[in-house]
Amino acid sequence: MNINLLVQFIGLLDELTHRNEIIAEFERLIELYGFEYYGVIRQIRLSDDPMDLVISGRWPDRWPEVYIRKKYIIIDPTILYMNQARGGFRWRDTIAAFRANPHRKRMERMIVDARNHGLEDGYIFPVHARRGLVGNITLGGKPVDLHPAEIGLFDCVAKKMFWKLQNADGTENPDVKVNLTRREMEALGHLADGMTSHEIARVLSISNHTVDWYMAGIQEKLNAKNRHHAVALSFRLGLIS
């Protein structure tokens, strides 16, 4: 296992701000793990051109064209499985979930086609926000066996990478103003007043763990690096004054 690599990279992501730096370091990480190809992808809808949703990626020659031309997005078992998955999963494990699917034969043909292009196996790590599935990071190429602990850490990497690249151009999350709950706004206001988690918990009559949960949600919605950053962004967005 290379757990230390993943832990170091998660810490590094907090320091990186430029898109090219983020992508270069991520590509270095996955190459050390033995993955040849990857994609950072916004949530797919059947009406979309799949390549328009790619934030960053590297694929085998001609595979994207084949995938689009044969309309594999409609029956791709990894995409269909992702809609019900809560964490990372392996490509080869998905086909078993669709034994009774009327498109099973076509799914199998897609898997063979992918292997012929160098995508023998891989993993997908869904990215969720409070509003549901928003994207994923997929890694593939030659088979790589990840330990469950590594899959868990790659889930963390996927989430941080996705939002980092989404906001690397400096734009803010357009849903921020409508996504914060009443309790999150209350906690945010007390945080801006300089209160600690313990003090906020006492004022709101909730546990410290619940305060930490609200804070994690606030940071996620604001794409903030830490609590201080969340307060700064909140003032800038007019959420608090």
Beta bridge partners of 125: 137
Q: What is the pTM of this model?
A: 0.69
Intervals of the chain under pLDDT 50: 47, 170-178
User: What pLDDT was estimated at residue 176?
Assistant: 41
> What are the sequence ranges of the domains in the chain?
3-166, 176-237
Task: State the Cα–Cα distance between residues 26 and 218, nearest whole angstrom.
Answer: 26
In what order do the strands lie in the sheet containing 54-58? 54-58, 37-42, 132-141, 121-129, 89-90
Same fold, 3-166 and 176-237: no
Cα distances from 198 to residues 190, 191, 194, 212, in angstroms, run 11, 11, 12, 10
Cα distances from 34 to residues 2, 56, 143, in angstroms, run 11, 18, 8
> Could you read off the pLDDT of 4-19 as tens digits, one per residue?
899 999 999 888 888 9
> Could you read off the pLDDT of 91-144 as tens digits, one per residue?
999 999 999 999 999 999 999 999 999 999 999 999 987 667 889 999 999 999
CATH 3.30.450.80 matches 3-166: yes
Task: State the Cα–Cα distance between residues 28 and 75, nearest whole angstrom.
Answer: 32
Which amino acid belongs to residue 173?
A: N
CATH class of the domain comprising 176-237: mainly alpha
